């Protein structure tokens, strides 16, 4: 739209300049003075009908500005050259003023240029110049002499004085006037008149013998006025200026207000027009102008370009920029050295490209080797097989992982543990993920690892951190998980993260969520999964403090026909099942024990293993068991969350924790039972809270239940996927 606006402005000014006025085209000259736009003599022929640009061509073919100044030249650069009448004062022998003329001019929207000078011619006299505007300005000079000066050409104060002008930018009128000093000797015989005038710098040269008598009968001198378009700068008017034509540009006026146009370097013409009279390319190769002439020593080598030229030498010759002449090329030692250098650099470039290509190929082969070594082929085979539901599992490249972690930058590390290092990554779609660099290095476990990746990618449980994909092109596999942003349960319980305090309601809900998740993994997953490293550091919390079970690097799949596996012992001290530690037999009760320790941490707010506690109580299980045995349970409970309303629930959860951490696995409950008990506590708490707030409604509900019970007992089940308890109300209470 801006380009279209500039084009329409150009057409407008072209038509304004070429239209007919009273049946005649715009006048382009008056006498020997050329009239060019934005100036004109008829309405519609000058810029926007601004009176400042209206000139008058009288019957004598004299071009006038404001009907009182003769215009002798119009410059595109913002100058108007006019003839200015002189001021004078003539005296008789008795020093009586016999004739005088003081010049006063109103410049309308033009300004007196600083390229003028103010001159006084006369003896024992002074002259003044007053310039009027928003800031008035006055200047002048004085001349003294007893006899006719002998010096010519210099206005040094003897018979002639001169002062340069520092004109205010907002001047709009000026006045000149000379006067004879009082009480001076008579000089009327050789200087009857005193003259004052403004003229172009270096135009007037003083001649004492001729100028003191009658100023050589000259009545006017040329002076320079400044003109401009409008009252805005180039930046202020932008594309609306009339300089938006082809091959011209805008510049701020010397007047301090408005702007002017000029042709670009290598172009000439009227910069205020867009037609054939506007800025056109100068053919430096043919022009006779001394300003724009080419500098090629041989004219036949000159080649014109738009806005410039160049000198073209024939084959076998070179251009000497000092003399701008063509000289035969020298194929001496310099050329040989140049050729050798180019050849050597070319060899280095080819060698570098070959080396880079070999390195790229080697890296590609190494990535392929790692991909196969880490089970990539097996994973692709399983993904492409029928019946798979791993459509959302993505296989990332090594380059994807480097970009996401900014080259595995240390500042991106979220945590380090026995199962590997976790980095914060940003994928190309700006989604934030957690990238785990495993410590897997046993090739015999590849198939089991791939099976686990496939199974974990199918787990769609709200309390399990979602596995998004993996990268197998590195020496050790990388697993990509969804990013959980509120840290771990360990951080919240033990003060390493400044977050909201976990109330008892928070802790009970988190315990229910963890228990439900483990019950789902043990009983409801397509292949039972034992986490094997349940601890508060592997429980993440999101922005709603919802628990997310993470870090399945130590997990094991339990075949449907087996209840336990013999494995190398793996886990975290403080949470590790002692039976599993002693026998190496892994079953779901190992996770139950670890969960019991997590329950104790939630209750006490203390770490699972603390060497600051007494010798027999360094392990939280021992510390907790002895407190219950000695009937001082509330000494180990986190006092900040303990209230009168939750003591019963806390005692029940403590009992469940003790049951989960029994020494023999067969004495521990299953996770499904633990989840049901904890959810039952939570539901009971909610019902009691409802009873306290709405006793009438509760009484009515209980009455309805009793009427429909008919003596049957209620049964309770547990839905581990939806994380809720199933209450069969129709069976009664």
Distance CA 483, CA 487 (A): 10
Q: With cut-offs at 50, 70 and 90, classify the pLDDT of residue 387.
A: low
pLDDT, tens only, 435-454: 988 765 566 667 767 777 87
Distance CA 376, CA 471 (A): 9
Q: With cut-offs at 50, 70 and 90, classify the pLDDT of residue 239.
A: confident
pLDDT, tens only, 541-569: 988 999 999 877 666 766 655 666 666 77
Q: Which CATH architecture has domain 362-483?
A: 2-Layer Sandwich (3.30)
For residue 496, what pLDDT is reported?
Answer: 61
Q: Omega before 302 cis (within 30°)?
A: no
Residues with catalytic roles: 533
Is residue 206 a contact partner of residue 191, using CB atoms and an 8 Å limit?
no
Fold classification of 487-733 is Transferase(Phosphotransferase); domain 1 (1.10.510)
Distance CA 49, CA 65 (A): 15
> Measuring CA to CA, how many Å separate 126 from each of 158, 313, 442?
12, 65, 110
Helices (H) and strands (E) in the chain, counts: 16, 41
pLDDT, tens only, 315-369: 777 777 777 778 776 666 777 788 889 999 999 999 999 999 998 888 888 888 8
Q: Which of 520, 539, 425 is nearest to 722 (CA)?
A: 520
First vs last C-alpha separation in the chain: 79
- If phi > 0 it is left, if psi is from -120 to 50 it is alpha, else beta; for residue 405 that is alpha
pLDDT > 70? residue 10: no
Contacts of 568 (CB under 8 A, 6+ apart): 584
For residue 562, what pLDDT is reported?
Answer: 63
For residue 337, what pLDDT is reported?
Answer: 84
pLDDT > 70? residue 574: yes
pTM passes above 0.75: no
Query: What 3-state class would DSSP assign to 725?
Result: strand
Q: What is the DSSP letter of 445?
A: G
Across the chain, mean pLDDT equals 80
User: Which listed CATH number (3.30.420, 3.30.1450, 2.10.25, 2.60.40) goes with 301-350?
Assistant: 2.10.25
- The residue extents of the domains of the chain are 2-73+230-281, 82-223, 301-350, 362-483, 487-733
Q: What percent of the chain clears pLDDT 70, i.e. is strictly above it?
A: 81
Is residue 27 a contact partner of residue 49, using CB atoms and an 8 Å limit?
no
Does an H or E element contain 297, and which?
none
pLDDT > 60? residue 185: no
């Amino acid at each position: 739209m801006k380009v279209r606006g500039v084009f329409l402005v150009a057409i407008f000014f072209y038509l304004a300049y070429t239209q007919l006025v009273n049946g005649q085209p715009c006048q382009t000259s008056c006498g020997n003075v050329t009239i060019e736009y934005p100036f004109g003599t008829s309405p519609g022929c000058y810029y926007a009908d601004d009176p400042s640009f209206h000139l008058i061509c009288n019957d004598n073919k004299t071009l006038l500005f404001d009907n009182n100044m003769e215009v002798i030249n119009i410059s595109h650069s913002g100058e108007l050259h006019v003839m200015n009448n002189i001021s004078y004062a003539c005296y008789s022998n008795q020093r009586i003023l016999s004739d005088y003329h003081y010049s006063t001019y109103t410049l309308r929207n033009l300004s007196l240029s600083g390229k003028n000078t103010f001159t006084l011619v006369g003896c024992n006299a002074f002259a003044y110049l007053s310039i009027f505007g928003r800031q008035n300005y006055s200047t002048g000079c004085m001349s003294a002499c007893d006899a006719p000066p002998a010096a010519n050409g210099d206005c040094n104060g003897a018979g002639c004085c001169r002062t340069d002008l520092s004109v205010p930018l907002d001047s709009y009128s000026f006045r000149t006037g000379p006067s004879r000093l009082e009480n001076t000797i008579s000089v009327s015989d050789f200087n009857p008149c005193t003259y004052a005038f403004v003229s172009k710098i270096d135009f007037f040269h003083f001649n004492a013998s001729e100028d003191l008598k009658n100023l050589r009968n000259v009545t006017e001198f040329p002076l320079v006025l400044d003109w401009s378009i409008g009252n805005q700068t180039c930046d202020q008017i932008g594309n609306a200026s009339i300089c938006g034509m082809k091959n011209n540009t805008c510049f701020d006026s010397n007047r301090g207000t408005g702007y002017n146009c000029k042709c670009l370097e290598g172009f000439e013409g009227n910069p205020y027009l867009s037609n054939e009279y506007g800025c056109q390319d100068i053919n430096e190769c043919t022009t006779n102008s001394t300003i724009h002439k080419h500098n090629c020593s041989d004219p036949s080598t000159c080649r014109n370009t738009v806005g410039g030229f160049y000198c073209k030498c024939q084959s076998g010759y070179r251009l000497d920029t000092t003399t701008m002449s063509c000289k035969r090329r020298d194929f001496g030692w310099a050329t040989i050295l140049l050729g050798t250098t180019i050849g050597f650099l070319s060899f280095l470039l080819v060698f570098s490209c070959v080396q880079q290509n070999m390195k790229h190929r080697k890296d590609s082969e190494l990535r392929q080797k790692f991909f196969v070594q880490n089970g990539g082929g097996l994973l692709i085979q399983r993904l492409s097989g029928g019946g798979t539901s791993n459509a959302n599992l993505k296989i990332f490249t090594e380059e994807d992982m480097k970009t996401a972690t900014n080259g595995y930058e240390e500042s991106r590390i979220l945590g380090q543990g026995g199962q590997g290092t976790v980095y914060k990554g940003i994928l190309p779609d700006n989604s934030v993920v957690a990238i785990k660099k495993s410590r897997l290095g046993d090739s015999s476990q590849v198939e089991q690892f791939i099976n686990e990746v496939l199974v974990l990618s199918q787990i769609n449980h709200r309390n399990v951190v979602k596995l998004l994909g993996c990268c197998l092109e590195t020496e050790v596999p990388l697993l990509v998980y969804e990013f959980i942003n509120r840290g771990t349960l360990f951080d919240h319980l033990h003060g390493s993260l400044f977050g909201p305090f976990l109330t008892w309601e928070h802790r009970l809900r988190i315990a229910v969520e963890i228990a439900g998740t483990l019950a789902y993994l043990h009983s409801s997953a397509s292949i039972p999964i034992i986490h094997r490293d349940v601890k508060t550091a592997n429980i993440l919390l999101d922005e709603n403090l919802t628990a997310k079970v993470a870090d399945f690097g130590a997990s094991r799949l339990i075949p449907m026909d087996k209840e336990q596996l013999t494995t190398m012992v793996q886990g975290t001290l403080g949470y590790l099942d002692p039976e599993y530690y002693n026998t190496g037999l892994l079953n779901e009760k190992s996770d139950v024990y670890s969960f019991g320790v997590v329950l104790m941490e939630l209750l006490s707010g203390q770490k699972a293993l603390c060497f600051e506690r007494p010798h027999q109580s360094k392990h939280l299980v021992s510390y907790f068991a002895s407190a219950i045995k000695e009937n001082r349970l509330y000494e180990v409970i986190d006092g900040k969350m303990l209230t009168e309303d939750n003591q019963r629930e806390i005692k029940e959860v403590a009992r469940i924790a003790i049951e989960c951490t029994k020494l023999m696995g067969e004495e521990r409950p299953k996770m499904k039972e633990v989840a049901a008990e904890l959810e039952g506590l939570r539901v009971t708490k909610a019902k009691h809270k409802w009873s306290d707030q709405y006793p009438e409604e509760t009484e009515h509900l209980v009455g309805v239940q009793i009427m429909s019970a008919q003596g049957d007992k209620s049964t309770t089940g547990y839905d581990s996927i939806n994380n809720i308890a199933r209450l069969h109300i129709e069976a009664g209470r």
